[in-house]
Structure 1
Amino acid sequence: MSSLVRNVGTIGGLTLISRIFGFVRDMLLARVLGAGLAADAFQLAFILPNTFRRLFAEGAFSVAFVPMYSRTLHGEGGEGAADRFANDVLSVFLWALLVFSAIMMVAMPGVVWILARDYQAVPGKFELAVFLSRVTFPYLALISLVAMLSGLLNARSRFAPGAFAPVLLNILLISGIILGWWLRGDSHDDRIVAIILAISVSLAGVAQFAYLWWAVRREGLKLRLRLPKLTPEVRRLGMLILPATFGAGIYQVSQFVDTFFATSLPQGSLTLLKLADRLNQMPLGIVGIALGTAILPMLSRHIHVGDAAEAQRLQSNAFEMATLLTLPAAAALAICAPAFTAAFFVGGKFTAADGAIMADIVVALVAGLPAYVIVKILNPGFFAREDTRTPVWTALAALIVNIAINLYVVERYGIVGLAGATAASASLNCLLLYIILHRRGWFHFTGKLALAILRQLVAVAVMAALLWWMMPMLADHYGGSAFERAWSLAALVAAGGAAFFAAAFLVGALDKDLLAMLTRRRARNGAAPTQE
């Protein structure tokens, strides 16, 4: 468990930095663009490459490539065989990305029409969305190559470069917002800001790729660009990617479904949904991505040598860590959503009415926060065994439920109903994945794990009661001066955190072995920073 804690700490710490920069980015974006025409157009343009990135790079490709590369690296061929495999994959992957990106950029008016045909009802909005989407789409090819390079390093337990790369994106986007605001001046033409932001997205892809290429070379990996060659290993990878693409594709289709419904609602709905998701993504990114990234190569090694007991123990530890961090986060975000949205986002072009709607969206989204994270722990149980088909069926079931719920709730409850449908379908997907893992004997819920989570829930209840009591007492300060906003939120966070950890300690929800390892890690980091 110590190596899991160490790797999660590395990934989670750097992801936290990235999420903080991303949070600053969205705060500035809300104040500079608000929830209007240009903001909606940019959000759509940003969604397109990022959705395909999650489909191709972080989804199907990574879950198939990392276990294969890890086995090749630790097999008889060693470094030489791993380098040959990586070069063969790179040669095919690069050309596939270039061809796909070119096709999408030519077809962009049709793509935007499918997702956001209602944008045509607002003069200039559809055309701006098409233009911005063409400017941002090259980011897909660049960030997909970044994901491959990160996979090479992750297989060698070098998680820091891949976790740090998103920081570069957010730094460039923050710079783009500031530059666009300065260029806009007194003209009030928000299109200027949106165009500068779109350019910044593609420039960020260049910066991230350059950084990961340097990190890979520094690690001693020998990568060379050459003509594509379909070797048996590359064909096998393709056979694994295909069902994984359908699985990840189903999830991404659900994201497109959400986008379609959001763009059919009043102007600003898509922007409010994405800004609300930023609050939801803070714990999801720090905990879920860190755990999922860290356990996949470790789980693959345990399964490869036939150590089922270690595989079970690894996933149980990851499950307990996930709930320990996400259950209190979900409860705190749900209760304190009005305070967070008012303090962080309301100001400039972002009105108090926008903030009130966004708070309701946050409450609906975080209902599924534990499920979002746990899915990232359960999926590696299939991927590490090269079973990329089963998650296809669970994701398909969740998608069908998501669409059915949306058809009912969006008309009645608007964007808040859409967010609730997303949380419900994610919870269903999580439940289905666990049932299948349990039935196959690959992972089961132990009494020890159930007792640990029950104790966590007791501590969450104590924290929630305190926050519920404090929220109205500080209500006048959430939208006040910068100082008032800061100290009122600090009071909520400090009181809630202290209440949770004190209650967790008293009821035994904090694993003493885990705390000891975290303490030793901090001591080591204080004495001599590690390479990562």
Structure 2
Amino acid sequence: MSLVSKFMGVGAATLASRIFGFGREMLMAAALGTGPVAGAFYAAFQFPNTFRRLFAEGAFNSAFIPLFAKEIEAGGLDGARRFSEEVFGFLFTVLIVITIAMQLAMPVLVATIIAPGYRDDPVKFDLTVNLALIMFPYLMCMSLGAMMAGMLNSLRRYFAAAIAPVFLNIILIGVLAWAWHEGRDELAIGYDLAWGVLAAGLVQLGIVWFAARRAGIRVRFRRPRLTANVKRLLWLAAPAAITGGITQINTLIGTAIASGQDRAVPALAQADRFYQLPLGVVGIAVAIVLLPELSRALKGGNETEAAHLQNRSVEFTLFLTLPAAAALIVISEPIVRVLYERGAFTATDTHLVSTILSIFALGLPAFVLIKAFTPGYFAREDTRTPMIFAAISVAVNISTALLLFPSMGAPGIAIASATAGWINAALLFSVLVRRGHWGRDSALLKRIPLLVLSAGLMGLALYYGATWLAPWLGRGGSLIERILALAVLTGAGAAVYFLLAFGTGAADFRQVTRSLKRRPKQPSPPPGDENAA
């Protein structure tokens, strides 16, 4: 199967999750707006979600996969199973300790890390603490689930791990629909959503657990021991956790700073949902697929193939990300108005969220490129260098956000995040080139300026199109008229971009598809993996 097919398979599952996520956010915006309950929920949920990315997805997708792949090569599925059981026993024990400690310390954590700006509002502060207490065990479910997902990705079974997050959004949509039917007030809805998050964690863990069993990996609990394998994993995972979760670290920092201003926390979270769509569909899909593919190529001593995989991945990500960034910059306000502005979500909220979204969009290509560059380090078991760059990025983010927030509010936090993203991407790329881990590719160097030009011209077309469709996109039109007008506008923009990209030679879909096929013969899948993606 070609690399692009794997990207598209994971991307399709992630797209489904993001579409349901939009549905969830639309219902939440209508029910809670950017009020105090929304602020408390987003702040409380951000904490376990950040830990999940730091100590689960970031660490295991970056450190666990190369080691698991090595165990498969050395000892087959039996060796990989023993390694997984050693890790599972240690991880389960550590998660129990972390969960209990965090539950006991939650009031202090909310006051100092999660939302220090809420300390002066006892009602909002207590609500944030209570919601965080309910949702924090979600971390344990998702951390164990991330381990299962890492095994599935190593076995080239990408779909189950990618589709599991859909159920978080499906369950929360169901909770919101039930709350609307029952006429529950905002405070009750906040608690309903928190319990829904916990239930979703259990469902997601169940999905990847059964998928791993079907793939031939039946993990049993072992007494936790610091074996050589576990020590090696921890040595790689500690920096990888920070690097893999850099976007979430910056988001958590932004949330803490934003808690000092009304409406800022939910506004940042609602804008984040939009740019997470292309980031998830393209960037995360590429990162998930590229790491095990690069690991196999490098384990086989094939540096040429590794360079080819990296260059084609960057070309693929830019081909889809640049037009998305241009669209979010130019028509952010119509998008937010059509999808969010109803119920408790007002015109003032639309202006704030769309401003933040357009700034986030400036950093979107950088956020996606980070996902494409870091596998070049992790596949070589170098997690320290990206961690250093992540630390620099965090320092830039904190200092810029603190500088800009007093005068600009939430948009200043978005500027800080975008700036930090570009600095991180530039550092990652420059060191890959300096070390000789990034092969020069004339086709890529030729196509990048043409892709930028195509996206820029599409953005110009969207600007004039939005002006022409303003009577239908504005607040005077009905919801159906606004949705149809936005669909026409975005569809026409996509058509303009693809015509320009293919017409200028910025992209050749057939050539790219052919070039992404793996040249070497792939090894036979492990027993029980006849349906590997």
- Report TM bin, short chain: over 0.9
Report deviation, 1:285.
0.3
Maintained 8 Å contact 1:337/1:359: yes
Deviations 1:162-204 (A, max 9, x none): 000001111111111122333444xxx3110000000000000
Among 487, 508, 512, the alignment partner of 1:511 is 508
Q: For 1:385-439, what per-residue CA distance to the aligned partner results, in whole angstroms no more than 9, with x for missing partners?
A: 1000001111111111112211221111111111011001100000000011111
Question: Is residue 156–residue 532 contact of structure 2 (8 Å, CA) maintained in 1?
Answer: no
Whole-Å Cα distance in 1 between the matches of residues 15 and 246 of structure 2?
28
Matching of residues 356-375 of structure 1 within 5 Å: 356-375=351-370
- Please say if residues 254 and 413 of structure 2, whose CA atoms lie closer than 8 Å, have aligned partners that are also in contact: yes
* 1:271 counterpart = 2:266: yes
Q: Structure 1: how far apart are the matches of 2:515 and 2:334?
A: 31
Deviates more, 1:233-242 or 1:174-183: 174-183
Q: What residue number does 1:387 align with? A: 382
Q: Residues 337 and 360 of structure 1 are in contact (CA less than 8 Å); yes or no, is this contact kept in structure 2?
A: yes
8 Å CA contact 2:327, 2:462 repeated in 1: yes
> Structure 1: where are the runs of 5+ without partners?
521-529
Give the CA deviation at 1:516.
Answer: 5.1
Give the distance between the partners of 2:272 and 2:116, measured in 1 at CA: 23
Residue in 2 that maps onto 1:258:
254
1:51 match: 50
Distance 1:410 1:337 in 2: 21
Quote the residue 1:83 is aligned against.
81
Q: Cα distance, 1:519 vs. partner?
A: 13
Q: Contact between 2:155 and 2:532, CA under 8 Å: does it hold in 1?
A: no
- Matched with 1:423 is 418
**Partner-residue secondary structure (3-state), 1:107:** helix
How far apart, in 2, do the equivalents of 1:110 and 1:505 lie?
55
Q: What is the CA–CA distance in structure 2 between the aligned matches of 1:348 and 1:214, rounded to whole Å?
A: 40
- Counterpart residue number, 1:196: 192
Tell me the matched-pair count: 517
Whether 1:168 aligns to 2:163 is no
Q: Give 1:527's aligned residue.
A: none
Pairwise CA distance, 1:447: 2.6
Q: Do 1:303 and 1:385's aligned partners in 2 also have CA atoms closer than 8 Å?
A: yes
Matching residue of 1:151: 150
SS at match of 1:51: helix
Q: 2:409 aligns with which of 407, 414, 425?
A: 414
CA contact (8 A) 1:251 1:399 kept: no
Amino acid at match of 1:262: A
Structure 2 residue 315 is the aligned partner of structure 1 residue 296: no
More displaced stretch, 459-468 vs 508-517: 508-517
**What is the rounded CA distance, in whole Å, between the counterparts of 2:417 and 2:98 in structure 1?**
28
Structure 2 contact 242–390 (Cα < 8 Å) conserved? no
Question: CA shift at 1:249, angstroms?
Answer: 6.4
Query: Aligned partners of 1:401 and 1:465: how far apart in 2?
Result: 32
> For 2:164, what is the secondary structure of its paired residue?
helix
Secondary structure, counterpart of 2:329 in structure 1: helix
The aligned residue for residue 502 of structure 1 is: 499
**What is the alpha-carbon distance in structure 1 between the residues aligned to residue 233 and residue 511 of structure 2?**
36
Q: Which deviates more from structure 2 when the two are superposed, residues 102-111 or residues 458-467?
A: 458-467
Cα distance in 2 for partners of 1:476, 1:501 equals 27
8 Å Cα contact 2:328/2:358 also seen in 1: yes
Aligned partner (choices 191, 197, 203) of residue 207 of structure 1: 203
RMSD between aligned alpha carbons?
1.7
Per the normalisation by structure 1, the TM-score is 0.94
Paired position in structure 2 for 1:244 = 240
Q: Aligned AA for 1:156?
A: L
- The Cα of 1:469 is off from its aligned counterpart by 0.7
Aligned-partner residue type, residue 103 of structure 1: A
Shift of 1:512: 4.1
Matched, 1:104 2:99: no
Partner of 1:440: 435
Query: Once the 2 structures are TM-superposed, how far is the Cα of residue 35 of structure 1 from its aligned partner?
Result: 0.5
Report deviation, 1:517: 5.0
Match of 2:373 among 357, 375, 378: 378
Equivalent-residue separation in structure 2 for 1:258 and 1:395 (angstroms): 15
Q: In the alignment, what sits opposite 1:526?
A: none
Contact 1:72 1:81 survives alignment (8 Å): yes
- Aligned counterpart for 1:493 among listed residues 482, 490, 494: 490
CA contact (8 A) 1:39 1:271 kept: yes
Task: Give the CA deviation at 1:491.
Answer: 1.2
CA distance in 2, matches of 1:501, 1:248: 32
Q: C-alpha offsets along residues 76-121 of structure 1, whole Å, 9 cap, x if unaligned? A: x111101100111111111111110110011000010013222133
Structure 1 residues 516, 381: closer, same or farther in 2, change over 3 A?
closer
Aligned equivalents of 1:250 and 1:493: distance in 2?
Answer: 31
- The normalised TM-score by structure 2 is 0.94
1:468 aligns with 2:463: yes
Give the stretch that moved more between structures: 475-484 or 29-38: 475-484
Q: 1:229 aligns with which of 217, 225, 239?
A: 225
Percentage of identical aligned residues: 40
Distance 1:83 1:164 in 2: 24
Once residues 381 and 388 of structure 1 are traced to their aligned partners in structure 2, the CA distance between those partners, rounded to angstroms, is: 10
